């Protein structure tokens, strides 16, 4: 008996050594896109064939974030496992009937942070997917609310390769950033040698937050003004509706991704993957092409010296730029920045495009502290502002 125990102990030691690995930084757009979306605290859905390392990637991600990992196999759960089980108390008429959460949600809530990984999502039947809606959007599991630092990631196999696979319901699909998860043979080969790529979490520079938010607001608002047909477009086929597609909700997700990417200096390829994963291929690729041509100046730099910049010539760039200026003033509202905003709008009037600046003028006027004097640049907008009631 002792001999058998010794042999098993030796086998266990061998397996322990095989599980040990080290990590190294290696450029990977899919890892960077995943890290960006998780940093922005958006739910992520990884699409990939079975056995390509989605679960292993979650372990590395949780380790990189220093978060406890809770893996939940969605396909083996009932709807009540996410909606909660009713627990009747002494006086239901007075206290109601609370919905008891599952143990994994209690552990995450107690820790105050965590990475929740819903695996095999496409194998979950429609009733389970419906129960997951509230978990993903409202972070509610039964009567329990998951803390804000909790990150949510899911994984799914394409219906063609999933066991009893289902297309995702459009409401659930529209709550995720969809990323295609593939394997690189060279990465796998190096991993078998004991070294895997690390997941580097983007560093959001506090000094860039104001400018990043303003740039992102200007870019998304300008693009949707130029392409209003892309604000909401539900695909006609079931497969398309189960993936990424544009809606006001996913454009808000794209806004958060852009702002986080700008503040953290994320590479364009990773940023593009994340934005496309939020709003879909067509809208996302068009949006990234628009951003490449837009090349907006830093709104904080412009507000610091409004006399030193030239207004863009194209109408869509003007609109996006002025929207970014207003967002930057709103994000850090002081009299000096407010007056600098009017100096910028005065250049739009001088360039012969007061109509482009009209909306921005109304927004700036609404921010005015009554103790601040009326700036000279407001004269060209007086009639419009009086009609709107802003003055």
pLDDT (tens, 9 = 90+) of the chain, 391 residues, equals 567 888 889 999 999 988 877 777 777 788 889 999 999 999 999 998 877 777 777 887 888 788 899 999 988 888 888 887 777 766 666 666 777 888 899 999 999 999 999 988 888 888 888 888 889 888 999 888 999 999 999 998 876 655 556 788 899 999 999 998 887 788 888 888 878 777 778 889 999 998 999 999 999 988 998 889 999 999 988 888 999 999 999 999 999 999 999 999 999 999 999 999 999 999 999 999 988 887 778 888 889 988 887 887 777 788 888 888 999 999 889 999 998 988 888 888 878 777 777 888 888 888 888 888 877 767 667 665 655 444 5
> In this structure, what are the phi and psi dihedrals at residue 46, rounded to the nearest 5 degrees?
-95, 125
Q: Hey, what domains does the chain have and what are their CATH numbers? A: 44-89+96-175 (3.40.50.300), 206-388 (no CATH)
Check residue 150 and give its pLDDT.
93
Contact 79, 135 (CB under 8 A): no
Tokens linked to 205? 């520079």
Check residue 59 and give its pLDDT.
80
Q: Are strands 99-100 and 85-86 parallel, antiparallel or unpaired?
A: antiparallel
Contact 280, 265 (CB under 8 A): no
Check residue 94 and give its pLDDT.
64
Check residue 185 and give its pLDDT.
83
Check residue 385 and give its pLDDT.
60
Neighbouring CB atoms inside 10 A of 194's CB total: 11
Nearest Cα neighbor of 111 from 154, 62, 42, 61 is 62
Nearest Cα neighbor of 65 from 38, 43, 40, 46 is 38
Tokens linked to 222? 């300008």
Q: In Å, what is the CA distance from 338 to each residue of 50, 268, 284, 344?
A: 55, 32, 33, 10
Cα 118 from Cα 155, distance rounded (Å): 6
Tokens linked to 55? 């679960």
Nearest Cα neighbor of 347 from 313, 371, 296, 300 is 313
């Amino acid at each position: 008996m002792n001999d058998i125990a010794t042999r098993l102990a030796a086998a266990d030691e061998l397996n322990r050594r095989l599980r040990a690995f080290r990590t190294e930084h290696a450029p990977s757009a899919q890892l960077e896109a995943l890290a960006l979306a998780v940093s922005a605290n958006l739910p992520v859905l990884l699409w990939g064939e079975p056995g390509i390392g989605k679960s292993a990637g979650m372990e590395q991600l949780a380790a990189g974030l220093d978060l406890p990992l809770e893996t939940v196999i969605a396909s083996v759960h009932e709807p009540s496992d996410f909606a909660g089980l009713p627990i009747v108390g002494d006086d239901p008429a007075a206290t109601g009937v609370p919905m008891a959460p599952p143990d994994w949600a209690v552990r995450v809530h107690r820790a105050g942070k965590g990475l929740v990984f819903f695996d095999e999502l496409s194998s979950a039947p429609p009733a389970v997917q419906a129960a997951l809606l509230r978990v993903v959007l409202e972070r509610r599991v039964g009567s329990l609310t998951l803390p804000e630092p909790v990150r949510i990631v899911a994984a799914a196999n394409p219906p063609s390769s999933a066991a009893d696979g289902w297309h995702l319901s459009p409401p659930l699909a529209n709550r995720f950033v969809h990323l295609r998860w593939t394997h690189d043979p060279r990465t796998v080969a190096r991993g078998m040698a004991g070294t895997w790529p690390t997941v580097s979490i983007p560093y959001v520079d506090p000094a860039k937050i104001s400018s990043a938010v303003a740039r992102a607001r200007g870019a998304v608002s300008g693009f949707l003004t130029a392409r209003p047909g892309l604000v909401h477009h539900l695909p006609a086929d079931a497969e398309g509706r189960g993936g990424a597609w544009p809606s006001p909700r996913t454009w808000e997700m794209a806004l958060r991704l852009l702002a986080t990417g700008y503040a953290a200096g994320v590479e364009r390829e990773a940023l593009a993957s994340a934005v496309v994963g939020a709003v879909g291929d067509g809208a996302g690729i068009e949006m990234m092409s628009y951003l490449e041509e837009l090349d907006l100046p830093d709104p904080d730099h412009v507000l610091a010296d409004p006399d030193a910049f030239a207004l863009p010539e194209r109408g869509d760039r003007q609109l996006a730029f002025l929207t970014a200026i207003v967002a930057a003033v709103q994000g850090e509202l002081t009299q000096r920045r407010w007056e600098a905003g009017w100096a910028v709008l005065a250049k739009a009037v001088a360039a012969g495009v007061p109509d482009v600046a009209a909306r921005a003028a109304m927004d700036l006027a609404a921010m005015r502290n009554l103790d601040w004097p009326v700036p000279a640049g407001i004269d060209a907008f007086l009639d419009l502002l009086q009609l709107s009631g802003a003055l």
